[in-house]
Amino acid sequence: MRLRPHHALCIQKFTGHGYDERFTEHMTEICEKLGKHPETSVTVIQGCDEPCAACPNDLAGSCSALEKVDSMDEGVLKALGIRYGDTLPWDKLAARARKNVFETENFEKICGTCEWFGLCRSTSI
Ligand code: SF4
Ligand code: SF4
């Protein structure tokens, strides 16, 4: 599966809320698939990925909030010590995101401006 860096966070904090029904259903499928198959190989990519494919903000392969999400993506790359093009199992990527982002001040630094931050901060995983 191809994921942009900050979606390693969003997938773990997803509780069924999203931009619209299509996005939410698609995100639910992704989360269920990764939950059932944590060994799934994930390649970290720049630009629109699997969750973006059903998002109303995906404008022909580019996010309409590009500046904001680019900054989150860069923050996650740095915090996790990974690079675009790296491939690793979902469970390893998710664990690294928990340790290096959710359990540190990086969470607010990376996600603080996101409209879902309050919800994600109060969501236990
Ligand atoms: S706060 Fe926003 S970017 Fe961060 S995990 Fe939640 S939905 Fe994703
Ligand atoms: S298109 Fe933008 S807002 Fe939509 S899921 Fe992708 S990064 Fe998030």
Residue 81 Cα to ligand 2 middle (Å): 22
Q: Which ligand is the nearest neighbour of the Cα of 115?
A: 1
* pTM for the predicted model, two decimal places: 0.97
Quote the DSSP letter at residue 82: -
- What is the distance between the alpha carbons of residues 32 and 63, in angstroms, rounded to a whole number? 24
Residue numbers of the domain that contains 28: 2-121
The helix (H) or strand (E) run that includes residue 98 is none
pLDDT reported for residue 44: 98
Could you give the number of structural domains in the chain? 1
pLDDT reported for residue 33: 98
User: What is the greatest pairwise CA distance in the chain?
Assistant: 35
pLDDT reported for residue 90: 98
Atom number in ligand 2 closest to CA 4: 7
pLDDT in tens, 43-102: 999 999 999 999 999 999 999 999 999 999 999 999 999 999 999 999 999 999 999 999
Q: What mean pLDDT is predicted for residues 27-56?
A: 97
- What is the distance between the alpha carbons of residues 62 and 60, in angstroms, rounded to a whole number? 6
